[in-house]
Amino acid sequence: MKRTPLKKIGKIGKANIEARNKIAEIAEEKGLNYCELGFTGCSKGLFLAPAHRHKRQWYKGSAKLLADFNQWISACTNCHNVIEVNKDLTEGVFEKLRPAKTL
């Protein structure tokens, strides 16, 4: 079988990697080694990943926006899947845990 070379990482891929590293730093600083949501079926501190306020295309490849603490919540896979498909629930959760800043 012929092997093909790997594709180079593009602008958005690089932004995602940069944001993921920054999110890991923030999570460690804040002690976010648990799921902040705790819905039914929550796996607590297992299989954590950042659940973002908006869909990925909203961030337009901006590492700064992706890593902004107000734009993500530490969530287990189960809880992440619950808010992923329910926009109203996502907005409610973020309003409770990361309220929008008013000037």
CA distances from 77 to 4, 8, 20, 50, 59 (A): 32, 28, 16, 9, 21
Predicted TM-score (pTM) of the model is 0.85
Mean pLDDT (whole number) for 43-63? 93
Quickly state the pLDDT bin for 103 (edges 50, 70, 90): very low
Domain boundaries, the chain: 33-103
Look over the chain and give the mean of its residue pLDDT values, rounded to a whole number: 92
What pLDDT is stored for residue 56 in this prediction? 87
pLDDT greater at residue 70 or residue 100: 70
Whether pLDDT at 17 is above 90: yes
